[in-house]
Amino acid sequence: MENFSEKIQSLRNEYSDLDLTSEDLNQDPITQFTKWLDEAIETQIYEPNAMVLATVDENAPRSRYVLFKNIVNNNLIFHTHYESPKAVEIFANPNVSGIFYWAEIHRQVRFQGKAKKSDSKVSDEYFKTRPRGGQLSALASAQSNIIFSREDVTNKIDELEKEYEGKEIPRPDFWGGFAIEVNYWEFWQGRRNRTHDRFCYKPEDNSWKIERMSP
């Protein structure tokens, strides 16, 4: 354990000399976010749309990775099973927070907001774009339920594949999108010697107030 502790404590990476100033930031945080996400995509980061989503149950916060899939009416959209733990927690308490982290370009975006079910049209349109295998797995999986083996799911998928052979697969009512209305944004640019640049956006008079934060 002592060697393990030393190994962990010695893990250090130096960041770049890139600066982030208030002049670099767009007044609209959604525009700033999409700009950074585009740059992460261009850098060919693996799954740059992966975000950690934190929800709260009766006793404690819970977090997991989900895939951000769209912006609709300035809301961040992700999709999931509506009977999954995260969905149940959102229905009980809509307050969520999340993080995008792009290690290769030394950037992080953090947000807080409220989540609600997205419009069914948004869910339907996205479901149609999913590969057929992804559509079948959405139908087959009771997400996060305890199962005996992987075959419980693959066998169900095989059955559904036969049932819908040559047919369009409908989006199940228990699967769809959530829309997150963000009320706080934070943009972080890693810099040398831990002198990171951090800025937050807070709503103020129908606009956004941008403030620099200590690293």
Q: Choosing from 12, 194, 198, 212, which is the catalytic residue?
A: 194
Nearest to 51 by CA among 66, 62, 36, 32: 66
Q: DSSP assignment of 50-108, as one string?
A: EEEEEEE-SSSEEEEEEEEEEEETTEEEEEEETTSHHHHHHHH--EEEEEEEEGGGTEE
For residue 81 the two structure tokens come to 């099973």
194 counts as catalytic: yes
Nearest partner of 70 among 188, 176, 204, 214, judged by Cα: 176
| Spatial distance between the Cα atoms of 188 and 190, rounded to a whole number of angstroms | 6
**Element (DSSP H or E) covering residue 120:** helix 120-129
Half-sphere exposure in the Cβ direction for 165 (13 Å, CA):
5
- Give, as one character, the DSSP assignment of residue 118: P
Identify whether the C-beta of residue 212 lies closer than 8 Å to the C-beta of residue 198: yes
Bridge partner residues of 77 (DSSP): 70, 179
**Catalytic center residues:** 194
